[in-house]
Chains A and B, each alone.
Chain A
Amino acid sequence: MANQSQNTFLPSDIIFNILTKLPVKSLCRFKVVCREWNVLISSQDFVKEHLCHAKDMKNLAFQKFMYLGVRFSISKVFSRVFDFSTLNKVPLALPFGDKHVNAEILASCDGLVLLYKGRRIYVLWNPSTGAQREFSGLHMNILVRSCCRLYGIAYDASINVYKVIAAARISNTRESTVITVYNCRTGTCTYSKGFPYWMYRSQQGVMVNEVPHWLVSHREGVGCAIVYYDFASETFKEVPKPEWAENVSEVDLRAHNGMLCLIHFKRGCADIWVMENYGQLESWTKLYHNVCCPGNFQMRPIGLTHNEQVVMEIQQRRIDVYDPRTRIFTHKSMYTYHVNAEFGAATYVESLVSLDVENV
């Protein structure tokens, strides 16, 4: 049935085109319009095209930033989601309720978020559709909350499956690092040991070019490298870094406007660098020079606004909007998260990506 939809005025490829631009909530309601729309909205092609639209940084209504806050007096954890198109925040119910005060946000990719629930249980969750799946076994069931850890989620296009990559340094040697790859389709973990780098700080993977990146050292306290996990070779590979980054300690890796971004902190200010063409050493460019935030707090860019201002997360407890033209910070929101500052917040996109275990 090519373009001849039943009764409709518009051909189905135009309908497809329009529907890919709708929010997830509207799409879930519009499955009821007719059977054809239900089949269309549920199809893999549609989910992929919708994701593609959501990931375009220009479509701000699809860019979200979620963060956790803990109220100790009542032993509850709450979460909120910040919308880059409206610069407003609204409550976001966690899939396991508000009682798990050890909750962490470990990674995010294509609208899927990896959460730590507590008691060695992890949850893959799509905050937009509410789909979720609990699993255990990450890190060989070793309790790793106090260890140095890296997390990432990525889509392995060669076999059409999302995978979680996790690494934890169990003791003070490089060799003791356990690397786990969790296959979201089969629900199984594979483990390996011997990470060729030194992890010095817990990190969420920085998603650029469809893979998670982390900042690591060559040896304890020596040098720095930007690495990503390569599914084809099942190894970690390096992305070239600018020369100045070799021997500085105060540096942070993030994503900005779809590019790898290094934040170089120095005496209360920061230079913000981006890699304009992924993988090309000579494309590292200083985007903003000497960004000074009142109070000299550490900052990281998390997104953009309609008029090309930068939304910054300050000291993992505040959301500000920074205008690069006037160099002024405007306060937007405040939150507190204490447990492990690296795992208290994440950006994600609104998508229909599902967690269904397919029949293999």
Chain B
Amino acid sequence: MVTTDEKGPLTAKKKSVIIRSCDGDEFLVSESAAVLSTSLKKILEEKEDRLIHLSDIDNKTLAMVIAYLSTHADDGLSDDLKRSFDQEFVSGKEFDVLKYLVLATDTLQVTCLCYTVAKKMADIMKNKLVEWVRREFDIQNDYTPEAEAEIRRLDAWAWDDRQLEDD
């Protein structure tokens, strides 16, 4: 366990909290990083407890969110460096990983990361086939073939001249 000192506002920044993922692993996070998440901030305001259990976020995803929070809580980094960190952070990540990440940022209410991840997901999706989208989002096609043909006909221009990707 971490010892928490209560010496007042001067040492407030040094305080830490422990966050436990649904897999049971624990992460030590500075309070200044944790409060960048609106949900964690609320929890910390409401209770003295320094251990927060997140029942729906797995290890891998939580580690990523915490890396993001810690970087953004670092006063030594310029805004430019933080911006390039954000770009680096989402680049090259699999769509599947991003799905869990966007869900976690939504739960934890980390607005700017949620925005960055959603934007990256949109960027990956934009040239994909409809079938790819259905697969990735686990959506059943509920159109009749006639109804689907009709929707395609209305925006026929959107379907031509483009190489759509399926992977």
Contacts and interface: CB of A to CB of B under 8 A. Distances in A.
Interface stretch (B17-25, B32-40, B68-76, B120-128): B120-128
B34 to A, nearest CB: 22
B102 A18 contact: yes
A39 to B, nearest CB: 11
A21 B140 contact: no
Contact of B102 (A8, A14, A28): A14
Q: Is the interface of B mostly helix, strand, loop or mixed?
A: helix
Interface residues of A, number: 29
B29 interface: no
A28 B152 CA distance: 9
Contacts of B114: 17
Interface in A15-47: 15, 17-19, 21-23, 25-26, 28-38
Given A14-B102, A17-B118, A28 B158 contact: yes
Contact of A26 (B127, B137, B143, B152): B127
Contact of A18 (B118, B141, B143): B118
A18 B134 contact: no
Among A6, A10, A28, A33, the most chain B Cβ lie within 10 Å of the Cβ of A33
B148 interface: yes
A8 B125 contact: no
Nearest to B136: A9
A36 B125 CA distance: 18
B138 A9 contact: yes
A9 B158 contact: no
Contacts of B148: 32
Contacts, number: 82
Given A26-B126, A32-B130, A35-B143, A8 B138 contact: yes
A4 to B, nearest CB: 14
A38 B126 CA distance: 16
A34 B159 contact: no
Nearest to A53: B119
Q: How many residues of B sit at the interface, in one of the four size bands?
A: 20 to 34
Contacts of A25: 158, 162
A19 B137 contact: no
B140 A18 contact: no
B1 interface: no
A31 B159 CA distance: 12
Contacts of A32: 130, 143, 148, 151-152
A3 B162 CA distance: 33
Nearest to B143: A35
A299 B121 CA distance: 38
Contact of B118 (A7, A9, A21, A34): A21
Nearest to A9: B138
A30 B155 contact: no
A290 B139 CA distance: 57
Interface of A: 6-11, 13-15, 17-19, 21-23, 25-26, 28-38, 130
11 contacts: A13-B106, A14-B102, A18-B121, A25-B158, A25-B162, A29-B159, A32-B143, A32-B148, A32-B152, A33-B134, A36-B142
